[in-house]
Each structure stands twice: as structure tokens, then as C-alpha cells.
Amino acid sequence: MRMTLLLWYTSLPWVTSNSHNSGDSEMNAVNFLQTGVATFASLQAEACLRFMHIPKTGGTSIDSANMHLPPGQRAFDSYMLRVYERIAKADQKDEKDLGNLFDFSHSSELVYTPFRTLHRHLYHWLPPGGTDQCEDVHTPPSRSSAVALYYQEDRCTTFCVVREPLARFWSGFQMFYYACDPESVNKKALELLSDLLTRPYEHECFFMLQVESIYGVTNKTAATHQYCNRILHQENLDQEFDALMAEFGRNVELPEEDLMSSWTDSCNMTVADLRPETKAAVYEYFKADYEAFGYPEPDF
């Protein structure tokens, strides 16, 4: 943003100091401001913008909105956009239909699983040949120098979304486990949280700390770099996303329906139904996220 403002400032036409007519001076001032605003808006519209997709924070809807824009007019770059461009090219699909292809592939688990299996070679799995691999889309900068460099590119603003950690955990849990009563959920959740202590990237990074994606460390106090410059919040996503896109001069809106919401609607339990023991364990594991992003400790 500082660089953008500097470019805007240095591009402005200076008002001449030898104007003798006050009317001319006023008109020069008006022209100065109008030109400056137009120049700044133009620079923002051309500015590089990238999206960091943290699992279970609304990223699928964000990527969908972007892919529904015409080629050459997309609002931002993302790893997800790149993989679907590769898929469309390999399948000889018209890139104009990228949004429909993306939405179809994410319409249900029954569709997505064979779709990704068929195109697995077009995804970038990290670390190469390693255990508990994740798509580059979900891989934190701390786990890949290539990912770190992607989010550090000069003159490029990266935005991302964070979510209340307990709600995020519960949403992810429902994707991988079919338990749907407080006792069974508690048993499975405690087992998962225990496993995550030694395997934090299992389940394709869906349960990794959000702070690790944004700061590259497991605790914000140890951070030396912030990889996501603009942090939005899932709880107020529509408004914050709209404001950011307007700031950068991008004409894009989120879909009315959250993509992938149907994947987790088979269980009628909510976060409020979780046992206190479950909530306490989730809070302890994701405490760094609570502290980094200002979410209050849940009641348990």
C-alpha cells in the first residue's frame, strides 16, 4: 500500500506556483485532486492482488467468485485459480467456463473425490514425496520455500480470511468424520487433536493453525514476517470482501450460497452441542489462533 501511494504521489501533476489568478489557482487545485484520485484508482485497479486460501474459512466461495469472471478480467491470482487453469487446459475446456467447472467439481463429495483423483497429477502436492502432503493451495509458507516466495512477491498484496477456531475445527471435523452425537464426537475429536500434536498437517492441512499460514510460525510472538497483508474475517466476510474489492477497483461479489456447505449438513449438531471437554481441548490446541486474531475464549 505504501508503494501504491508513493506511485500515486509521484504521478500527480504539480500546480504551478506562479499562478496570479485566484480562480485559476482554485481550478488547478480541483484538477489536481481529480487527477490524483483518478490516478490512484487506476493504480489500485492494476495492482497485484493474491488470495491465500486457509482451509475452512470461506475460501472456496472466494475462488469461485473469481473464476466466474472472464479470462483476463479476474480479480486476483491464487493457487486454486492456477490448478483449475491447468485442469481446463488438460481437459480442453473453454477457460470461460472455469467457474462452472470449479463449482461442479465442488458440488458434493461424491463428485469431488473422483474428479480430484482423475486430475491428481495436475495438483501440486507438498512436500514432494513427503508424508502428510497438502495441495499448494493449503500449504503454509513455513512448509515450502516456493509457497513463501509466492506470497512475498514485491508489489503484490495478499489477502486471506480467518475464522473463529472452534467453528473452523467443527466444520473441518464434519468433512472427515461422520460422528454425530456429543459423546462420539468428543472421542474422535480428542483422538484427532492428539494426532495433530505430532502430525499437524494430516488431513491435507485442514486442521493446521491459521497463524502458521499468515505468519509462518506456530505462535505470532515468534513471527518475523507476515505473509498475508490483509486479514478478513469469515464472520463478516461479505462486507469485508466487498470493501477490499472496491478498494482495489475489482468488480466481483461472493456467491449467495456458501460453496461446500452441503458437505457438512448431514449432522444437525452445532458448536453449541459440543461437550465442554471437546471445546476445552480445541481451545488449548488452537490457542495461538485465538491470541493472534483476537477471538474470545469459548464458553466451556
pLDDT (tens, 9 = 90+) of the chain, 300 residues, equals 444 444 443 444 433 344 445 566 555 654 544 544 444 445 555 789 999 999 999 999 999 999 999 999 999 999 999 999 999 999 999 999 999 999 999 999 999 999 999 999 999 999 999 999 999 999 999 999 999 999 998 789 999 999 999 999 999 999 999 899 999 999 999 999 999 999 999 999 999 999 999 999 999 999 999 999 999 999 999 999 999 999 999 999 999 887 777 677 778 899 999 999 999 999 999 999 999 999 999 998
Predicted local confidence at residue 101, as pLDDT? 97
Predicted local confidence at residue 142, as pLDDT? 95
What's the pTM value of the predicted model, to 2 decimals? 0.84
Domain limits of the chain?
49-293
Predicted local confidence at residue 177, as pLDDT? 93
Predicted local confidence at residue 12, as pLDDT? 44
Predicted local confidence at residue 23, as pLDDT? 60
Predicted local confidence at residue 297, as pLDDT? 97
**Neighbouring-strand partners of residue 162:** 233
